[in-house]
Amino acid sequence: MGALDGIRVLSFNHFLSGPAAAQHLGDLGADVIAVEPLTGAFQRNWAVGNRFVDDTSVNHMTTGRNKRSIAVDLKAPEGIAAVKRLIANADVVMENFRPGTLDKLGLSEEEMRRVNPAIIYATTTGFGADGPYAKRPGQDILLQAMSGLAAHTGSMEHGPVAVGSVPIDHHAAALTVTGIVAALFERQRTGKARRVEVNMLQAAMDLQGESITAWMNGAEHDGPRGSDGMANWFSPAPYGIYATTDGFVMISMSKPADLARALDLPEFLEFSEKDGFDRRSEVSRKVGEGMAALSTDQALEKLAAQGVWHEVVQDYDALPANPQVRHLQAFTEAKTQGGSPMVMLSHPVRYDGVAPEVRLTPQPLGGQTREVLAEAGFADDEIDTLLAAGTVVQTDRMRG
């Protein structure tokens, strides 16, 4: 049983943020139906690192669990008519197209509400439904550039750096889930069905709430990034990554006196915590020199002895053996439709100590087309007619 049992969601989503949001809802028990084109959604046909396992894209692995799939030709009047019958029985419609895309297909929000006045309509866009940038493509790395994230990542010595994953997509997904759950709660209390809007630009800014707010309210800064090894412009030294003779160690905010004892830097013994701000470059440089003379094991022992917060910099390969990751069961192992092993991230929230189960692994394109149409009231002969005309398809293919 999940918190959203009995809630039906139609997901017209593609790429990452929208499908990820829909997956979270599915994890929580919602009946999520991915409405895909006949050739399959983007994330089914494209893969990070061009990696497919048994024809299953790693992107589909990332965002495709706990969903059923129906494949429909949305350019055919019969396809639109079929989708409207699905909308009539849905609680939520989600989409992350550019503004106006569904309108052109005859599936505007107004039309959906005519079919089902109680529908919650959730849209995730790059820049919002209107405004001067509304029609621009909203891609994570482009939003990193616009929002200041890239400019504030990296070092003053080497320039801006893009974050090596897609945090804005994932944060936008979390915000979309928050908005939908809030709208469902309000509908239950008041009967009002809301429109939920999330845009990636504000998601990118929200992701940087602490540093943007400090910057906009006059916090002193020499530039947008840290220098001399500092990870950012706003923290006291030595906050950053420091090389040892055989690796790298991240050091968090620490008292200069503790660092002095850990790294044999007597000049810092009289430094105050304020000096960590005022003399951050000096402190960071000296910490870098002290760390460079030690092996990683030596550094860890010395830092731990003085209570300095630290962590070894590790790659993804270290995660499966991490004892806390294992304790949390943060990975879920399953089989692809072809029977090969695959690894997915588990739902990251526990409810009474238990994470939601994987009820459905990522499904084939249109894997439940007939089933979903029958639940919407289509007779067998109606479904046969739609299948024969190619208006809908049911396949066992993982790609389009």
Q: Which pTM does this prediction carry? A: 0.96
Cα radius of gyration rounded to whole Å, the chain: 25
Please give the Cα distance from 76 to 33 (Å, whole number): 20
User: What's the residue count for the chain?
Assistant: 400
- Asked if omega into 356 is within 30° of 0 (cis), the reply is no
Bridge partners of residue 342, in order along the sequence: 334
Distance of CA 298 to the CA centre of its chain: 37
Neighbouring CB atoms inside 10 A of 331's CB total 13
User: 229, 270, 272: which is closest to 250 by C-alpha?
Assistant: 229
Bridge partners of residue 154, in order along the sequence: 160
Structure letter (DSSP) for residue 143: H
Structural domains present in the chain: 8-206+349-393 (3.40.50.10540), 239-313 (3.30.1540)
Please give the Cα distance from 36 to 314 (Å, whole number): 38
SS3 361: coil
Q: In what order do the strands lie in the sheet with 248-251?
A: 240-243, 248-251, 310-312
Please give the Cα distance from 372 to 73 (Å, whole number): 15
Q: Is 368 exposed, middle or buried (0-12, 13-18, 19+ CB in 10 A)?
A: buried
Q: Which residues of the chain have pLDDT under 70?
A: none
Structure letter (DSSP) for residue 230: B
Please give the Cα distance from 55 to 215 (Å, whole number): 47
Please give the Cα distance from 155 to 230 (Å, whole number): 8
Asked whether 134 and 127 are in contact (CB, 8 A), the reply is yes
SS3 362: coil
Active site residue 169: yes
For residue 220, CA distances in Å to 214, 234, 292, 382 come to 9, 8, 30, 68
The model's pLDDT over 149-204, given as tens digits with 9 standing for 90+, comes to: 999 999 999 999 999 999 999 999 999 999 999 999 999 999 999 999 999 999 99
SS3 145: helix
Asked whether 2 and 27 are in contact (CB, 8 A), the reply is yes
pLDDT of residue 253: 87
- The residue from 27, 91, 140, 169 that is catalytic is 169
Tokens of 218: 């006059």
pLDDT of residue 121: 98
pLDDT of residue 5: 98
Asked whether 267 and 260 are in contact (CB, 8 A), the reply is yes
Using left for φ > 0, alpha for ψ between -120 and 50, and beta otherwise, residue 236 falls in beta
Q: 22-51 in b/e burial notation, b at 16+ Cβ within 10 A?
A: bbbbbbbbbbbbbbbbbebbbbbbbbeeee
pLDDT of residue 22: 98
By DSSP bridging, strand 92-95 and strand 120-125 are parallel
User: 100, 72, 103: which is closest to 86 by C-alpha?
Assistant: 72
The residue written with tokens 């943007």 in the block is 212
